Structure 1
Amino acid sequence: MIKSIRYVVSENISNIYRIFLIAKYEILAENRDSKLGILWNVLNPLIQISTYWFVFGIGIRSGKPVDGIEFLDWLLAGMAVWFFISPSIRKGVTSISSKIKVIRKMKFPVSILPTTVVVEEAIIHLCMLVIIYVIFLIRGMVPSLYNFQVLYYLICGMAFSVSLAMITSVLNMFTRDVKKIVNATMRMLMYITPILWTMDKMPKNIQKIMKCNPIYYIVQGYRDSFFYHEGILSNVNEMIVFWVIITTMFIAGSTLMYKFRHRFVDMM
């Protein structure tokens, strides 16, 4: 177990420049045929957020605020997390299989591929965060030192996405059903995670179970940082549960990555 963790960590650290270089290339390649380029990575989520705000905020909630926070602001903070984590997980599943030709032609550090996908989405997410933060300021939010906690929760999102991507990307080499399962699960998570709605009317025992969802921890962390000004240590139990889950996932992903590192080429 320790050997596999050391292998993954050392390979990612020693290839950190390559990770950012590939992430940059992928972002540019994805938008090379578009005049607006990387702006579409921000415009698309904002268009979808506008739709959700109209349906859930104006239609269902009739414009009612959430805990004194305007629904649009509350929604923006949650959806920002979703538009980072969702593509990270979806692309993470195929992070190895999509680069199999490169792996065949040269000796390539395979364990950096899930990280590369997440870093790519994190760069786009940071651009989107800047825009959303400016929107918050324009709409009257008072800047606070608590806002910087978003960086911690961004790291949490990256840790969760990389750990899960390592597991799913390896399993996807055995059967492509993994990709279909992940896509179906992500569609479900979009609505069962309290991003578009609040769970204050749910029974307490159900709330405790739902708070074990790592995505909920990150979403709530963003909202705490922007609106509620709750410190990172204000929810110690949830933080412990989150990092226990992430650590378990990272160990499992590292073990799979290390065990099959020499067999990926033969799996296609």
Structure 2
Amino acid sequence: MNKKKFIKLIILALIVIISNILIFNYCNLENRNITLSYKIVSDNQDTYQLFYGNDTVWNEEQSQSLNYAEARKQESLKYTISNNIQYLRFDLGNQTSNINISDIKLSYLNKSVYLDLDQMVDKNNQNQVEEIQRVGNSFDIKTNGTDPYIVYKVDPKAFEDFDSYKNTVNNILKIVICIVIDMLLLVVLRKSRSVFTLLQELKNNKTLILNLSKNDFKTKYAGSYLGIVWAFIQPIVTIVVYWFVFGVGLRAGSPIKGVPFILWLMGGLVPWFFFQEALLNATNCMLEYSYLVKKVVFKVSILPIVKIVSALFVHLVFVGFLFVVAGIYGFYPSMYTVQLIYYSFCVFVMVLGISYATCAIMIFFKDLGQIINIFLQIGIWMTPIMWSYTMVPEGYQWILKLSPMYYVVEGYRDTFLNHIWFFQRYFETVYFWIITLGLFALGAMIFKKLKPHFADVL
């Protein structure tokens, strides 16, 4: 083994060790609330409320109300409660009713614990309950007042089981993440020549990249009366149209309490516009600059990054526009604002990795441009940007989170609105960089493989 390979192995080993230590120390599942659910059939429509706390002094802040909408039809009511509470109070509507309740359980992730039903029939825990009869895993309950309820003392062991289950799932996820990252690093090492050669070319030509980017930005709208103003008109019009349709026409509200819908919408559209313009322009860069590609001495690997930097100029203006709109509504820059550099870098690296593959393939398969346009049309609705992922049932939200752009869009909103640091989203951050670095390595290999044939095809 020569000295160069030995140094690479040492560096790889250090990266693997450090990354694994960081993952096991800092990547933990978020403390999710517990779900309490039960099935109910009643002869009256009514409102059912659940109180929870560590004593029997009940307050509205620690309660949830759900409507039973259709009499004599079974419905499932699901409440979100805090972890490690001691008491529950089941309010059974506001009128005299005959009720059947079944399958009362606490759930966390995919683990469920059924409540001890013997407690439910204890008359010392009841108010305005005329009769309660247990039938297997269900109860037939007859109430006789406007405030009937049953108080239940939760077994602490249920929460201990949830904590143990959470730790098990957490450790499994950490092991899987470490294995994936280690395998990705091994692939990068094996194909390191393609990646490192590409990075070296970008470093050596940074001045040329900046000059070409400025020139590309200026010449794109040369000859028109408004010039570069056209770069901002279409995205602004798009934002206004979406805001009018969703915010005014459909009266959609912001998923974040106290945040105007237009500000929440812009937090998602601004990074998406950057991604969209950068990807489209970088994909077509080899065809647009074919006269440079044919030159033997020109480093064609810098062309995708030229297009992305050109799109970055527009993006920076829109970020400034977002600051202005946020300021109008009373949302001012904070210490979290520095994250914009990080999230913009995330988009930059991701789109660069993708565009190295797409711009190379585009030369041989020109239909790819149309495919990407369709992909972007679907992507803007699936990310999601105009609507909140919380509208999707919790069990299916992970599908939307598979898109790396979900991480960036929510990151911009975290920066301006939620005030959450990127490292607080442990697993989403790790997942994003696994996907992004994988795309970058794949894009670099495809680009190097096809590069010798560019001039011949063009």
Q: In which range does the TM-score fall when normalised by the shorter chain?
A: over 0.9
Cα pair 2:384 2:406 within 8 Å, conserved: yes
Q: In the alignment, what sits opposite 1:65?
A: 254
Cα pair 1:7 1:258 within 8 Å, conserved: no
Cα pair 1:88 1:161 within 8 Å, conserved: yes
1:260 partnered with 2:450: yes
Q: In the alignment, what sits opposite 1:116?
A: 306
Q: For the residues of structure 2 that align with 1:151 and 1:25, how far apart are their CA atoms?
A: 24
3-state SS in 1 of match to 2:425: helix
Q: Deviations over 1:119-146 (max 9, x none)?
A: 1101110011112211211221132110
3-state SS in 1 of match to 2:290: helix
Report the TM-score, using the length of structure 2 for normalisation. Answer: 0.57
Q: For the residues of structure 2 that align with 1:215 and 1:24, how far apart are their CA atoms?
A: 26
Q: In the alignment, what sits opposite 1:202?
A: 392
Q: For the residues of structure 2 that align with 1:3 and 1:215, how far apart are their CA atoms?
A: 28
Q: Match for 1:125 among 315, 325, 334? A: 315
Alignment CA distance shift 1:160-1:22 (3 Å): same
Task: State percent identity of aligned pairs.
Answer: 29
Q: How does 1:45-84 map to 2 (within 5 A)?
A: 45-60=235-250, 62-68=251-257, 69-84=259-274
Q: Match for 2:206 among 16, 30, 34? A: 16
Q: For the residues of structure 2 that align with 1:203 and 1:63, how far apart are their CA atoms?
A: 19
Q: How does 1:31-42 map to 2 (within 5 A)?
A: 31-42=221-232
Deviation, structure 1 residue 161: 0.8
Q: For the residues of structure 1 that align with 2:216 and 2:449, how far apart are their CA atoms?
A: 28
Deviation, structure 1 residue 116: 0.9
Deviation, structure 1 residue 66: 2.2
Q: In the alignment, what sits opposite 2:370?
A: 180
Q: In the alignment, what sits opposite 1:29?
A: 219
Q: How does 1:98-177 map to 2 (within 5 A)?
A: 98-177=288-367
Moved more, 179-188 or 104-113: 104-113
Q: For the residues of structure 2 that align with 1:135 and 1:142, how far apart are their CA atoms?
A: 10
Q: Which amino acid aligns with 1:256?
A: I
Greater Cα radius of gyration, structure 1 or 2: 2
Q: Which amino acid aligns with 2:254?
A: P
Q: Match for 1:250 among 417, 429, 440? A: 440
Cα pair 1:212 1:238 within 8 Å, conserved: no
Q: For the residues of structure 2 that align with 1:182 and 1:131, how far apart are their CA atoms?
A: 28
Q: Which amino acid aligns with 1:264?
A: F
Q: In the alignment, what sits opposite 1:240?
A: 430
Q: Match for 1:224 among 379, 395, 414? A: 414
Q: Which amino acid aligns with 2:383?
A: T
Cα pair 2:194 2:444 within 8 Å, conserved: yes
3-state SS in 2 of match to 1:96: helix
Q: In the alignment, what sits opposite 1:92?
A: 282
Q: Deviations over 1:57-93 (max 9, x none)?
A: 1122x15232111100001111111111101111121
Deviation, structure 1 residue 106: 4.6
Moved more, 233-242 or 141-150: 141-150
Cα pair 2:346 2:408 within 8 Å, conserved: yes
3-state SS in 1 of match to 2:300: coil
Q: Which amino acid aligns with 2:245?
A: V
Q: Which amino acid aligns with 2:372?
A: V
3-state SS in 2 of match to 1:111: helix
3-state SS in 2 of match to 1:143: coil
Report the TM-score, using the length of structure 1 for normalisation. Answer: 0.96
Q: Which amino acid aligns with 2:256?
A: D
Cα pair 2:235 2:273 within 8 Å, conserved: yes
Q: Deviations over 1:176-205 (max 9, x none)?
A: 121111111111111111100012121223
Cα pair 2:323 2:332 within 8 Å, conserved: no
| Count of residues in correspondence between the two structures | 267
Q: Which amino acid aligns with 1:118?
A: I
Higher helix share: 1
Q: For the residues of structure 2 that align with 1:128 and 1:42, how far apart are their CA atoms?
A: 8
Q: Match for 2:401 among 208, 211, 221? A: 211
Q: In the alignment, what sits opposite 1:189?
A: 379
Q: Deviations over 1:16-38 (max 9, x none)?
A: 11111111101110122234322
